[in-house]
Chain A
Amino acid sequence: MKRGPIIYVPRDSGALSVGAESVAQAIAAEALLRGIEIQLVRNGSRGLYWLEPLVEVALTPGGRRDGFGPVRRDDVASLFEAGFHTGAATAAGASSHPLALGPVDQIPYLASQQRLTFARVGIVDPVSVADYEAHGGWRGLQAALSLDPMAIVEHVVTSGLRGRGGAAFPTGIKWRTVAGASGPQKYIVANADEGDSGTFSDRMVMEGDPFMLIEGMIIAGLAVGATQGYIYLRSEYPHAHTVINQAIAAATVKGYLGGNILGSGRDFHLEVRLGAGAYICGEETALLESLEGKRGMVRPKPPLPAIEGLFGRPTVVNNVITLASVPFILAEGGAAYRDYGEGRSRGTLPLQLAGNIKHGGLVERAFGITLRELLYDYGGGSRSGRPIRAVQVGGPLGAYLPAAQFDTPIDYEAFLGIDAMLGHGGIVVFDDTVDMARMARYAMEFCAIESCGKCTPCRIGSTRGVEVVDKIVAGKERAANTALLRDLCDTMVGGSLCALGGMTPYPVLSALNHFPEDFAKS
């Protein structure tokens, strides 16, 4: 029987990037030195990254969790000295440690969120099946096992869930298509190639609550009749790779994966495949090519992957957050999820505050919250303290928005209405030192580097785009070249095979439209 206070130090790679590993080692060493028995748990991140490494202490299992952060290795001795492991450091009065944050779930940033999908992230031990179960895990799967496959699909349809990878296609409709397709083998593919700058919610789920993704994939398999799943994970996420493989092994031992899952007579096998550093493989058809062992070249659609996907078989390709939203939907019912949100944007969206922001991190809220609330109420303004001039929402293919558009609600249709997109929910903040012509050039450069080369507008257009932006900035025939850039963007939007070439013009044109002065400096 383990004893002593439970001390949580995240194993999330964001926390590790600011020293969580050495803090964990220092805590273990200091406890040993002082002869204090502790239970060290390596949890995911709460998503309050400016406080990382955020160390939490619970005196009893399931008890109140007091936070301390950001903790450096050198702070550890003083934390023990102040009695952070006995509750003394957070007791009312003068003994409180300078890093004490009080009960973590009462920090306003966290307390005001609506965490349906991220309910357990940062709370549980990510590779403990028992911990997952104790925090409401597997209830969605239990419900699904008692339902007819089409009834599972209908719950997802009812929920209004749309693809969280960026395309926002109704998930239930996709599942219905795959369920209705016939074939000797069907597949569930989790798109974990989270390549958009400013996004990290997939990573947080995989590092902090991987069983939720696994459960969502099993439910998808039950719904459409698929017995094999693949998680296509980007190679830039080695920690997620480790955690998810540990979770798959643990879930297999407990009978949740493999043959005859939980004695139901149904099978579901799951395996992780690593990408190799190609942004385009986040596009679903390029991803499938890559999974098949080929160059990640985009396929023309139709046929849809739902009909002819992986190895030519009917395939559900869903983003990690989409699949991770499913256990809640099955456990609580599609209507419970649909009751959050507004218009055709139902449920919650895990938003990610990134770039030049004071309080960067994860904010899961129902659709309808405004950008301004996210940037200032949660984000606390820019990290530099200078005015926020622009934000890019939705990754490198998302539009740059000026302050005049900060009252736009987080809503798929509202964003389309201003020629922008929500994408995967990443928000990258720039202060007033940003050069928007440079960002427009970068968008074209990125497209040129990452283009799969299959279609001409993307392959050639992006390189020509860099050149034209350079000419505009240099003041060479500025009016004519600006017209040419717009024309080129029009060709890319209308003539590209996929969203890479087709949406690179969004950051370019939005920069040009909202910040024309940056293109006319010389």
Chain B
Amino acid sequence: MPRLLPPGTKMPVRQEPATASVTAAVASAVDRHKDRPGALLPILHDVQQALGHVPEDAVPEIAQALNLSRAEVHGVVTFYHDFRSTPPGRVVIKVCRAESCQAVGGDALVAHIKQRLGVDFHGTTADGHFSLEPVYCLGNCALSPALVIGGEIHGRVTPERLDALLQAARGSA
């Protein structure tokens, strides 16, 4: 039996039309990739590259361009850890949680970062500066623990080194 919505609830059926920047980003990505087989992932990567995330209003436009249902595109966007539906902070920190990093203090490092930033994984600091994401292996396992700050990889990271990196990232962004 379908659940009834409380009286007065607006049905979340139609979305607002996409903003011009979203439409432009989608159009440019679609244009680049639409003739390639399996174009959806390259398109999503480009949209995220351009906008920092894949906004919900990009989904119908991508679906239309590739002759897919919105559900199919939504399904792909939400399946992959990389794609985010909300804008990230100015600097994204990806910290490795995998075994090799755990073997050399990775858990303590994760706790230290969370404490320093005051956010949990998938969170963004209140000032919008940092977003914190977990990652499962950066392939830097001979130099664990590893993390990425603003696209740059760092190995053998200690809490002290992390504080210095955060300081530098705070200044630069």
Contact = CB atoms under 8 A, between A and B. Distances in A.
A294 B76 contact: yes
A354 B141 contact: yes
Contacts of B137: 194-197, 199, 236
A271 to B, nearest CB: 8
A357 interface: yes
Interface string A262-283: 0000000000011111110000
Contact of A355 (B37, B75, B99, B155): B99
Contacts of A449: 136
A278 B80 contact: yes
Nearest to A354: B141
Interface centre among A197, A396, A426 (most CB of B within 10 A): A197
B81 A293 contact: no
B152 to A, nearest CB: 8
B166 interface: no
Given A200-B142, A296-B79, A396 B99 contact: yes
A203 interface: yes
Nearest to B76: A295
Contacts of B98: 197-198, 396, 446
Given A274-B41, A396-B99, A361 B139 contact: no
Interface string B73-84: 001100111110
A442 B102 contact: yes
Interface in A414-449: 426, 428-431, 434, 439, 442, 446, 449
B168 to A, nearest CB: 12
A430 B82 contact: no
Interface in A378-405: 383-384, 392, 396
Contacts, number: 154
B100 A361 contact: no
Interface residues of B, number: 41
Interface stretch (A13-21, A34-42, A98-106): A13-21
B153 A17 contact: yes
A220 to B, nearest CB: 19
Interface in B78-134: 79-83, 98-104
B130 to A, nearest CB: 19
Interface residues of A, number: 63
B99 A442 contact: yes
Contact of B142 (A195, A239, A354): A354
A16 B139 CA distance: 12
Contact of B83 (A195, A276, A360, A428): A276
A356 interface: yes
Given A14-B155, A278-B80, A396-B98, A428 B41 contact: no
A322 interface: no
Contacts of B75: 295
A78 to B, nearest CB: 22
B156 to A, nearest CB: 6
Interface in B6-30: none
Given A238-B151, A293-B40, 19 more contacts: A17-B146, A198-B141, A199-B137, A273-B38, A273-B41, A274-B42, A276-B83, A290-B41, A291-B38, A293-B38, A294-B40, A352-B141, A355-B141, A392-B99, A396-B98, A430-B103, A431-B103, A442-B102, A449-B136
List 4 tightest A-B contacts by C-beta distance, closest first: A360-B142, A354-B141, A17-B155, A197-B98
6 contacts: A14-B143, A235-B82, A278-B79, A362-B142, A429-B103, A431-B103
